[in-house]
Every structure is written in C-alpha cells, then in structure tokens.
C-alpha cells in the first residue's frame, strides 16, 4: 500500500505541477502509463516497485494505466456536462484506486468490488465539494453543467467565489449524492470482509465526517478548506475499536 500510495501521489503531483509546462507533464504521465503497461526501460526505485505490484497481487496493469489516464484528464480539463460524465472521471481517479487497493488488502466476497467502486464515488464527490474554491482558482469546475443550470449558478460565479443561496442549494444537492454513495458502499460491504477493509472504512469515516462538517457550516467552502482535527480523527479510530474492528490496546 505504501508503494501504491506513492504511485498515486507522484502522478497526481505531476498533473498539478504548474511549474512544468503542460507538454512536459503529459510526457511524464505517458511515460508512467507505458511503464505500468509494458515495463520501464530504466526504472527508479518506485517504478520498479510499482511494476512489481501485479506480480505480487492480482492487479490488472490496465487498472494502473486507467488511474494515470484519469489524472491526465485534469491537464486538458473541460467542464462535465452531465453527472454521468463526472462519474466516469470519478471512476478513473477514485474507484479504480479502490479496486486496486482491495486486491492488496485481500477479500473473499466479489461484492467487495462494487463496494470499492461506490466508495470511490463517495470519496471523490466529497473532494469535489470540499475543493470548489481551490479548483475554481485553477479554472477547473467539476460540478456538472446540468446541475449548475438547475440551480442557476454560473461557472463565472464559482470562479469569482461568490457564495449565495443558489450555491448553497447546489452544494446541498451534491452532498446528498455523495451521501447516497457512502450509504450504498456500506450496504455492499460483505460482513466477512469488514476487517480486511478496515483502512478503506476508516477513510470512509473520515471523509464522511468532513462532508457532514461542510453541511453543518452551510457549505461555506469559499471561506475555508474543511478538515478534521487530530482529536476528531482519533475519535473515529476509537469508534472502529469499539465496534470490534480493531483490537483494543
């Protein structure tokens, strides 16, 4: 998981490195995609470890390449017209991450794959709601245009970071969508695999708490970046201990 996380972190950093020209970032990501599919010519330590993951676990190399494709899509970001368009992006950058992760965690019931896909949707939608301000500052609008039109919010308004009742209603609508996927993921997690999915469930608990905090503060995402305190994170961890997912210490 350390290797896989480092892989995701590196390719994400490449896509977001505004100090590099877009063509250089595209070239670097293409090199990573070729490497995970066909092997690296002169791999560094991380590339060697990433290339070895499919040899150690039942991970399809195409899944690693799909994550690279999803990240690369941010370089030529175009607004998503429909929610289905947005979900396709969420699948590549989040759900596929979950599909790879569960192969490393190990699982018995194939329903874990549906769990991973839906949890990925929930986590990425939470990120999108939380990061509206940061994304707007980069001229990236992830909220679907059909939703903006539905609530009378313009892309220019989001870029200008002008908050009003319409923006609040829009983000409340997206909140309910994210909550739906958290609930769906929870319903799909097989009982026999709960302990194996501990790390995923902890991530779900933390991000779900962030989402609810945003709602309690009435979606004022232009004013601050929402996060949890260390104490709150420890409380979530303690909740899993109390439920018997972790041994008490």
| Cα pseudo-dihedral 119, 232, 226, 211, rounded to 10 | 40
Give the span between the Cα atoms of 9 and 5, in whole angstroms.
6
CA distance 134 to 159: 9
CA-based max dimension of the chain: 54
Q: What is the mean pLDDT of the chain?
A: 93
pLDDT score, position 157: 97
Residues 6 or more apart from 179 whose CB is under 8 A from it? 122, 211
What domains are defined for the chain? 1-76 (no CATH), 77-249 (1.10.600.10)
Give the span between the Cα atoms of 100 and 22, in whole angstroms. 28
User: pTM score, two decimals?
Assistant: 0.92
Q: Is 197 strand, coil or helix?
A: coil
Contact between residue 245 and residue 160 where contact means Cβ atoms under 8 Å apart: no
Q: How far apart are CA 225 and CA 247, in angstroms?
A: 33
pLDDT of amino acid 232: 75
Q: Chain centroid to CA 72: how far? A: 14
Q: What DSSP character marks residue 81?
A: S
- Contact 96/39 with Cβ under 8 angstroms? no
242 pLDDT band (50/70/90 cuts)? low
pLDDT per residue as tens digits for the range 19-30: 999 999 999 999
What does the pLDDT read at residue 201?
92
- Least confident span in 1-15, 150-164, 234-248: 234-248
- Lowest-confidence segment of 30-44, 201-215, 231-245 by average pLDDT: 231-245
Among 144, 140, 118, residue whose Cα is nearest residue 131: 140
Q: Is the pLDDT of residue 246 over 80?
A: no
Q: Tens digits of per-residue pLDDT, 81-114?
A: 999 999 999 999 999 999 999 999 999 999 999 9
Task: Assess whether pLDDT exceeds 90 at residue 238.
Answer: no
Scored b (16 or more CB within 10 A) or e, 39-57 reads: ebeeeeeebebbbebbeee
Burial class (CB in 10 A: 0-12, 13-18, 19+), 95: buried
- Distance between CA atoms of residues 193 and 246, nearest Å: 13
Mean pLDDT of 31-59: 96
């Amino acid at each position: 998981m350390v290797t896989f996380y480092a892989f995701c972190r590196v390719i994400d950093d490449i896509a977001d490195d505004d100090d590099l020209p877009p063509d250089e970032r595209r070239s670097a990501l293409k090199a990573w995609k070729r490497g995970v599919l066909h092997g690296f010519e002169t791999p560094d330590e991380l590339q060697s470890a990433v290339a070895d993951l499919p040899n150690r676990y039942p991970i399809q190399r195409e899944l690693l390449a799909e994550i690279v494709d999803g990240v690369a899509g941010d370089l030529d970001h175009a607004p998503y017209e429909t929610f289905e368009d947005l979900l396709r992006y969420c699948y590549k950058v989040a759900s596929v991450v979950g599909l790879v992760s569960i192969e490393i965690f190990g699982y018995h019931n194939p329903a874990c794959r549906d769990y991973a896909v839906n949890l990925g949707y929930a986590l990425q939608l939470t990120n999108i709601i939380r990061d509206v301000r940061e994304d707007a500052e980069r001229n990236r609008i992830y909220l679907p245009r059909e939703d903006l039109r539905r609530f009378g919010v313009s892309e220019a308004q989001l870029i200008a970071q002008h908050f009003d009742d319409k923006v609040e209603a829009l983000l409340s609508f997206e909140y309910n969508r994210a909550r739906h996927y958290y609930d769906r993921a929870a319903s799909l997690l097989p009982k026999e695999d709960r302990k194996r999915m501990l790390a995923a469930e902890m991530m779900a608990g933390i991000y779900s708490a962030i989402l609810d905090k945003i709602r309690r503060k009435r979606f004022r995402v232009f004013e601050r970046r929402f996060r949890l305190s260390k104490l709150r994170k420890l409380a979530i961890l303690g909740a899993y201990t109390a439920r018997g997912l972790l041994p008490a210490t």
